Amino acid sequence: MLGCLVDSNDHPCAIDAHMYRAKVRDEESGEEYGWVHMRQSIHNPNIALNMQSMLPGGCVSMTRIFRDQFLEASGIARFLDISDFYNYIGSQS
């Protein structure tokens, strides 16, 4: 299930070897959309993907870009169930 939390915390925790966290910015304007946090579950073979944004519509924009420019473009979507991405994007329209 995908969702969006709004957070204005500009001081993230230190990154450890079990997760990846990145700020997401618009390449042209430099405007910050928010951040993405990915980590492997320690309980099952899932990868948790969390997104937060301070902008209205920021999470859905980041989700759409992640789906189109990473999951679809890389070919991962051919063998990974990304239906939650489509459902979340569709529910925000």
Per-residue pLDDT reduced to its tens digit, 1-29: 444 444 455 555 554 556 788 888 888 99
Is 9 a member of any domain?
Answer: no
What does each C-alpha distance from 12 to 26, 52, 61, 65 come to in angstroms? 20, 12, 21, 23
The C-alpha torsion from 15 through 27 and 2 to 54, rounded to 10°, is: 80
- Nearest CA-CA partner of 71 in 42, 44, 38: 38
In the chain, count H helices and then E strands: 3, 3
What six digits make up the tokens of 40? 């492997």
Flag whether 11 is in a domain.
no
- Give me the domain span that covers residue 87: 19-91
- Start-to-end Cα distance in the chain: 17
Would you say residue 60 lies in a domain?
yes
Report if residue 46 sits inside a domain. Answer: yes
pLDDT attached to residue 5? 46
- The string of pLDDT tens digits covering residues 24-72 is 888 899 888 899 988 887 777 778 889 999 889 999 999 999 999 999 9
Number of domains in the chain: 1
